[in-house]
Amino acid sequence: MFFESSAEDREKPSLTLAHYLWERDDDRDFIISVGKKNERKTEVKIHRCVFASRSPVFDRMLETEMKEKGENKLEIIDFNAEIVKIAVEYFYDRETYKNSNVDQLIDLLQFAEKYDIQDLKSKVEHVLIIKVRPNNICQISNASINANSTKLKEVCIQLMLFYMNRKLPFNEEITLDEDFVIELNQTAALPVEDAWPVEEEEG
C-alpha cells in the first residue's frame, strides 16, 4: 500500500542534520577567531564535526598535529567576521549567502577558494552571475581571476563583449586584471557567433 504525501508536506523544506545542529549552541566545540592582529577578535563557534566536514583544508588541520587541532581554534585575519559568519551559516545548510551584496559575495568566493570549499564556491558563482550588471562587471571580472573561477570569468568575458558590441556603457573606472584583459582580447578576435554566446533575457 502506498501513502501519498499531501501538498502541504511536499512544500515543507526537508531538514538536515546540520539544520538541527545549528540550534545546538551549547555543545559547539570549535572556535573560529576572526580579526587582525592587535584588534579585538570576534569568536564564531562551530561544531568540530561540521567544521571538518565542509573543507578538506579544515579536515587536514584537525587530522595533523597543527595548533588548530590542539587548541580547537582557527585564527582568520584576512576576512572579516561578517563573511566568516555567513560561511559558517552555510556549513549548517542555511542559505543566508543568497541575501549578500556583491562585495560580500566576492569575499565569500575568495574564502571558498582559499579553504577549498567547492560547493560554496559553486553556489556563490551562480549568485554572482545573476548579479552581473554594467556597473559591477569589472569588479566581478577581477574577482573571477583572483578566485580562479573559470565559470564566472567566461560569463564576464561574454557579457563584457555583449555590452561593447551593443555600445552599452559599463563602469570602466576599475582597472581590469591583466590576465582577464588578455583573455578578453583573445575572445574578441573570434567570429561573432563564438564571441557572444549570450542569450538575451526574455521580456
pLDDT digits (tens, 9 = 90+) for 52-96: 999 999 999 888 767 777 788 899 999 999 999 999 999 999 999
Length of the chain: 203
What pLDDT digit, counting tens, does each position of 93-133 carry?
Answer: 999 999 999 999 999 999 999 999 999 999 999 999 999 99
Q: How far apart are CA 169 and CA 100, in angstroms?
A: 25
* pLDDT in the model for residue 200: 42
Quick one: pLDDT at residue 13? 62
Q: Which long-range contacts (CB under 8 A, 24 or more apart) does 166-169 make?
A: 168/134, 169/134
3-class DSSP state of 147: coil
Q: Using CA atoms, how far apart are residues 141 and 182, in angstroms rounded to an integer?
A: 12
How confident is residue 43, by pLDDT bands cut at 50, 70 and 90? Answer: very high
Query: What are the residues facing 31 on neighbouring strands?
Result: 45, 73
Residue 185's nearest CA partner among 166, 161, 153 is 161
- Evaluate whether 113 touches 55 at the Cβ level (below 8 Å): no
Residue 67's Cβ-side half-sphere holds a number of Cα atoms within 13 Å equal to 4
Residue 42 phi, psi (nearest 5): -110, 125
Average pLDDT for 42-51:
93
**What pLDDT does 170 receive?**
78
Residue 15's pLDDT band, with cuts at 50, 70 and 90, is confident
Sign of CA dihedral 129, 134, 136, 140: positive
Start-to-end CA span in the chain (Å)? 47
Strand partners, 33: 43, 75
**Residues 169/174/179/180 CA torsion (nearest 10 deg):** -30
Is residue 41 predicted with pLDDT exceeding 60?
yes
* pLDDT score, position 119: 96
Question: Nearest-5° angle of CA 85, CA 88, CA 91?
Answer: 155
Quote the cell numbers at residue 89: 551559516
The greatest distance separating any two alpha carbons of the chain, rounded to the nearest whole angstrom, comes to: 66
Q: Summarize pLDDT for 151-186 with one digit per residue, the tens.
A: 999 999 999 999 888 888 877 678 889 899 889 888
Instruction: Give residue-wise pLDDT tens across range 20-37.
Output: 888 888 889 899 999 987
Please state, rounded to an integer, the average pLDDT across all residues of the chain. 85
Report helix, strand and coil shares of the chain as percent, to nearest 5. Answer: 55, 5, 35
